[in-house]
C-alpha cells in the first residue's frame, strides 16, 4: 500500500519524467565534454614551456578538436539549464 501511494505521488507531480531524465543525461554528457576539453587545454599548456608563444598556443587550442568539445559541452549545459520544459502547471527543474 505504501509503495502504491508513493508511486502515485511521484506520477502526480511528474518528478521523474522523460523530460527530466533526458535533461540530466544531456547535462552529464555536456559536463563530460567540457571536462575532456578543459583537461586537454591544460595539458597543452606545456607547449608554452617548450618555447611556443601565447599567441601560438591560443591559435593551436582554437584549431584543436578538444576546444570544440569544450564549446559543444558548454552549449549543451546551457540548453539543459535555461531552456524551459514541461507543460503548464508542471513542476520543472
pLDDT in tens, 1-22: 455 545 555 555 554 555 778 8
Cell 505521488 found at: 9
Q: What is the pLDDT of residue 87?
A: 62
Low-confidence ranges of the chain (pLDDT < 70): 1-18, 85-93
Nearest to 21 by CA among 5, 88, 7, 29: 29
Q: What is the pLDDT of residue 84?
A: 72
Give buried/exposed letters for 69-93 (b at 16+ CB in 10 A, else e): bbeebeebbeebeeeeeeeeeeeee
Amino acid at each position: 500500500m505504501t509503495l502504491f501511494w508513493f508511486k502515485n505521488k511521484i506520477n502526480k507531480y511528474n518528478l521523474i519524467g522523460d523530460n527530466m531524465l533526458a535533461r540530466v543525461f544531456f547535462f552529464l554528457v555536456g559536463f563530460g565534454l567540457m571536462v575532456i576539453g578543459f583537461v586537454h587545454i591544460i595539458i597543452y599548456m606545456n607547449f608554452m614551456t617548450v618555447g611556443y608563444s601565447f599567441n601560438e598556443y591560443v591559435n593551436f587550442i582554437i584549431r584543436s578538436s578538444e576546444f570544440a568539445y569544450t564549446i559543444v559541452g558548454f552549449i549543451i549545459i546551457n540548453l539543459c539549464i535555461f531552456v524551459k520544459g514541461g507543460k503548464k502547471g508542471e513542476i520543472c527543474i
